[in-house]
Chains A and B, each alone.
Chain A
């Protein structure tokens, strides 16, 4: 019996870092959590992530996790390209992780809504924002 996961953020980051199609574009600048705020963090100490994601919902009973992804880049085009790469990674191949006991867990990932163009409220840099829902497959 597999253990119930309440948060897959760390495993999600590891999964994304293992994908060359994405790391070719963003390197290791993938952040599990909301973008660090310039108001509260020293700019020198920031890792300057391009991709951030945070869990915004889900239901452990039905084993689904919802994550909000935000991609920040110098241009909107670049942000869109990175978003499409991430979306394709999740939706065009099976997304699977291992739980702490080494069991393989597979998830059906779906983009909820669409990829939305937005801007960082503080710097005005272009961003793309989208929701991904992961549903466990047994």
Chain B
């Protein structure tokens, strides 16, 4: 008789942690897609004067990933890219005139529409790749 056996080590706590890490990474990646879309709209529609608003997107203040000042006008705390929990991330801009830009031109919300498909795809791909 020929037989084969296989033992799989399964640690539910480790698996849970791995899945959480993958989801966190997926959210982070999809957020970058959105930020790129906001920058594209800002640039192509000629809303850029100093580049401070554009540079503030994806500059972190909360998760230790500070991308540094990209334009001389940038101030510390311009960016809003903070982890709320392992499954939540808040992205945006703390620049004083960001709200005024959003009110007038809806840059961030329109970017959400254009990027939504790519965000979901990248999220799924990233989670699949990391589990």
A interface residues (Cβ-Cβ under 8 A, vs B): 56-59, 66, 68, 70, 112-113, 116, 118, 121, 129, 131
Contacts and interface: CB of A to CB of B under 8 A. Distances in A.
B106 A68 contact: yes
B131 interface: no
A118 B96 CA distance: 11
Contacts of B9: none
A17 B92 CA distance: 33
| Dominant secondary structure of chain B at its interface with chain A | helix
A118 B109 contact: no
A112 B108 CA distance: 11
Interface in B73-131: 92, 99-100, 102-103, 106, 109-110, 112-113, 116
Interface of B: 92, 99-100, 102-103, 106, 109-110, 112-113, 116
Contact of A58 (B92, B103, B113): B113
Contact of B100 (A56, A57, A121): A121
A113 B106 CA distance: 13
Contacts of A66: 106, 109, 112-113
21 contacts: A56-B106, A56-B110, A57-B106, A57-B109, A57-B110, A57-B112, A58-B113, A59-B113, A59-B116, A66-B109, A66-B112, A68-B103, A68-B106, A70-B103, A112-B109, A112-B112, A113-B92, A116-B99, A118-B100, A129-B99, A129-B102
A68 B99 contact: no
A115 to B, nearest CB: 11
A129 B102 CA distance: 9
Contacts of B92: 113
Given A70-B103, A129-B99, 4 more contacts: A57-B106, A57-B110, A58-B113, A112-B109
A70 B92 CA distance: 20
